[in-house]
């Protein structure tokens, strides 16, 4: 394959098309779907196979229609003709595939994290139970660089005196100050970073609204992150291969994707596909979803199938 195909927009479905373009370049997922014979998982497999063949310039519209109808039937929050959120579609699609296949698609994207509490009156470290995440929500307010967003996500948070007590101390300590920070304990094969562009707020009249942060965020094509295992930090390198962007406003916007095929980047806007520059070098970049592939030996299909069943937890900063 030299370049991806276009995907027809069948009614404000750019939010889905952009995610499908990235999943078309997610080899681990395509391998997982290889033997699927029915349901949404098979529909996705068929569409991604068509996306990666060179027989025509655009994916068959019927493949898109069947797949989206299947997802929308299970998740009533979507409706054809209405623009929706690409991240929500990504999560719903994984849930549908999980239900229809013998494999575990979450095993590709899923990591583990926990909160660590420290106290100034004792030397105890108190860790919360590990929680799963399928993507990490990056705080972007007052930030212009992804590294700063990640640092903010993992930063130490201080609590007022006596607000949180050490559970390991036999007697209650007076005037105890606690801190909390996020610890990544298992990094996924595919790391999905969601920029916190959309936030809910309450108007003066008590109506819930959503506002969008259009701030530009610089990001990199290569990134190093560490996970903690048995008290040691283990580094992993990640390479960017997919970007979903949103332009416009809440009321009227458009989703596009940039995907890396081989050594080349391609800009994808529904049916329109063109060779483009590295999106990380675009000074006007306003990414919404960033997809990073872990470098080195990946998981085998048996590893994905053996991982525990997913319990959806899309972790936000300061959770």
DSSP assignment of 200-248 equals EEE-TTS-EEEEE-----B--SEEEEEEEETTEEEEEEEEEEEEEEEEE
- pLDDT value for 301: 47
**Tokens linked to 28:** 């681990």
- Tell which wins on pLDDT, 92 or 117: 92
Is the distance from CB of 304 to CB of 108 less than 8 angstroms? yes
Long-range Cβ pairs for the range 159-167 (8 Å, 24+): 164/117, 164/119, 165/119, 166/117, 166/119, 166/121, 166/122, 166/124, 166/126, 167/126
Residue 3 lies in a domain: no
Query: What is the domain extent for residue 245?
Result: 14-306
Give how many domains the chain has, as a whole number.
Answer: 1
At 110, list the tokens: 């899923």
Q: Is 186 helix (H, G, I), strand (E, B) or coil?
A: strand
* Structural domain contains residue 67: yes
113-126: per-residue pLDDT in tens? 998 888 876 777 78
Q: pTM for this structure? A: 0.88
Is the confidence at residue 149, as pLDDT, over 60?
Answer: yes
Residue 136 scores a pLDDT above 90: yes
- How does residue 166 score in pLDDT terms, banded at 50, 70 and 90? low
Q: Which of 78-82, 107-111, 197-201 has the highest mean pLDDT?
A: 107-111
Look at residue 319 and tell me if it is in a domain: no
Range list of β-strands (E), the chain: 111-119, 125-127, 131-133, 136-138, 157-158, 178-186, 190-195, 198-202, 208-212, 222-229, 232-248, 253-261, 264-269, 272-276, 287-294
Whether 6 maps to a domain, the answer reads: no
- Residue 302 reports pLDDT greater than 50: no
- Mean pLDDT calculated for residue range 217-231: 92
Task: pLDDT band for 30, please (50, 70, 90 cuts).
Answer: very high
Residue 19 lies in a domain: yes
293: nearest Cα among 14, 104, 20, 29: 29
Kindly state whether residue 317 falls inside one of the protein's structural domains.
no
> Which structure tokens are listed for 74?
């299970």
pLDDT above 70: residue 311: no
Q: Does position 300 have pLDDT exceeding 60, yes or no?
A: no
Instruction: State mean pLDDT over 39-64.
Output: 92
Q: Distance between CA 156 and CA 117 in Å, rounded?
A: 9
Residue 137, pLDDT above cutoff 90: yes
Task: Check pLDDT > 50 for residue 268.
Answer: yes
With cut-offs at 50, 70 and 90, classify the pLDDT of residue 55.
confident
Report the distance separating Cα 51 and Cα 120, nearest Å. Answer: 56
**Per-residue model confidence (pLDDT) at position 173:** 66
Q: Is the pLDDT of residue 3 over 90?
A: no
**What CATH number does the domain containing 236 carry?**
3.90.70.10
Evaluate if residue 298 carries a pLDDT over 60. Answer: no
Structure tokens at 128: 């919360």
CA 104 – CA 97 distance, rounded (Å): 8
Lowest mean per-residue pLDDT among 89-98, 150-159, 181-190, 285-294: 150-159
Alpha-carbon distance 105 to 299, whole Å?
12
- Could you give the CA distance from residue 226 to residue 262 in angstroms, rounded to a whole number? 26
Q: How confident is the model at residue 283 (pLDDT cuts 50, 70, 90)?
A: low
Taking each helix axis as running N to C, give the angle between helix 86-100 and helix 14-23, from 0 to 180 degrees, rounded to the nearest 10.
Answer: 60
Mean pLDDT to the nearest integer, 210-222? 90
Domain membership flag for residue 313: no
Asked if residue 258 is part of any domain, the answer here is yes
- Mean pLDDT taken over the chain: 86
Q: Which two tokens stand for residue 163?
A: 């607000």
């Amino acid at each position: 394959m030299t370049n991806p195909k276009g995907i027809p927009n069948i009614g404000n479905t750019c939010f889905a098309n952009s995610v499908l373009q990235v999943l078309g370049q997610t080899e681990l997922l395509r391998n997982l779907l290889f033997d699927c014979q029915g349901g949404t998982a098979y529909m996705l497999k068929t569409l991604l196979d068509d996306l990666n063949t060179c027989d025509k310039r655009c994916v068959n519209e019927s493949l898109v229609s069947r797949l989206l109808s299947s997802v929308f039937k299970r998740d009533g929050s979507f409706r054809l003709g209405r623009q929706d959120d690409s991240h929500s579609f990504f999560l719903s699609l994984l849930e549908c595939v999980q239900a229809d296949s013998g494999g575990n698609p979450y095993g590709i994207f899923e990591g583990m994290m926990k909160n660590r509490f420290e106290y100034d009156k004792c030397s105890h470290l108190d860790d919360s139970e590990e929680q799963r995440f399928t993507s990490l929500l990056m705080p972007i307010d007052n930030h212009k660089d992804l590294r700063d967003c990640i640092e903010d996500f993992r930063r130490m948070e201080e609590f007022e005196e006596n607000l949180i007590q050490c559970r390991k101390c036999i007697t209650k300590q007076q005037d105890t100050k606690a801190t909390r920070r996020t610890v990544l304990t298992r990094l996924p094969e595919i790391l999905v970073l969601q920029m916190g562009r959309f936030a809910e707020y309450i108007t003066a009249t008590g109506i819930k609204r959503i506002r969008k942060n259009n701030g530009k965020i610089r990001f990199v094509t290569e990134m190093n992150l560490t996970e903690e295992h048995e008290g040691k930090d283990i580094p992993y390198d990640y390479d960017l291969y997919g970007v979903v962007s949103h332009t416009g406003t809440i009321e009227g916007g458009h989703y596009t994707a940039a995907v890396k095929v081989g050594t080349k980047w391609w800009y994808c806007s529904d049916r329109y596909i063109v060779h483009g520059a590295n999106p990380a070098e675009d000074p006007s970049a306003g990414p919404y979803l960033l997809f990073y592939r872990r470098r080195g030996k990946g998981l085998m299909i048996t590893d994905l199938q053996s991982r525990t069943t997913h319990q959806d937890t899309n972790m936000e900063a300061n959770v």
